[in-house]
Amino acid sequence: MWAALAVATLFGGCAGLYVLGAKPRAATSSAETSDFEKLPAVTVTPHELIAAYKTNKAAADKAYKGKKIAISGLIEAVEPGFGGETSVRLKGADVFHSVNARDLPKDDVATLQKGAVVKMVCKGDGAITGSPMLQDCRLQ
């Protein structure tokens, strides 16, 4: 089973592995959301974020996980996720690593196209198999 999952992960992105390793997220209160909105964003490119996680996951988590991140990049794919959410993948330096952004409003997702450049603000959510994960994203 793990071999099939590894192959599926290599060729189909990290969505399958992400679901197996996913932990339920706690609901965010409106007070937490408004406090987060007031924080300054760390500006980073997809290549910088991927390189940070490839170099040292612990250091990258300390710098980015749970932090407000401003990121812009080339859309590699807009894909349906599990549980009705849509994931937007931003192109990385190679075919095996991309930045995965989720929780964008459905109306915003409907306007996105592969190959377009997008700017968004998200909350860092660690990395799965070297691909950074972002949550609670909003277009800028």
Q: Say which amino acid occupies 135.
A: Q
pLDDT in tens, 63-98: 999 999 999 999 999 988 767 788 999 999 888 899
Q: What is the DSSP letter of 40?
A: P
d(CA 7, CA 4): 5
Question: Would you state the pLDDT for residue 9?
Answer: 38
Residue 94 lies in a domain: yes
Structural domain boundaries, residue 51: 25-139
- Judge whether 14 and 53 are in contact, CB under 8 Å: no
Pairing type for strands 97-102 and 131-139 reads parallel
Entry pTM? 0.75
Residue 88 lies in a domain: yes
Better-predicted residue by pLDDT, 37 or 8:
37
Centroid of chain to Cα 21: 15
Write the CATH number for 75: 2.40.50.140
Residue 39 lies in a domain: yes
Taking residue 75's Cβ as centre, other Cβ atoms within 10 Å add up to 18
Number of domains in the chain: 1
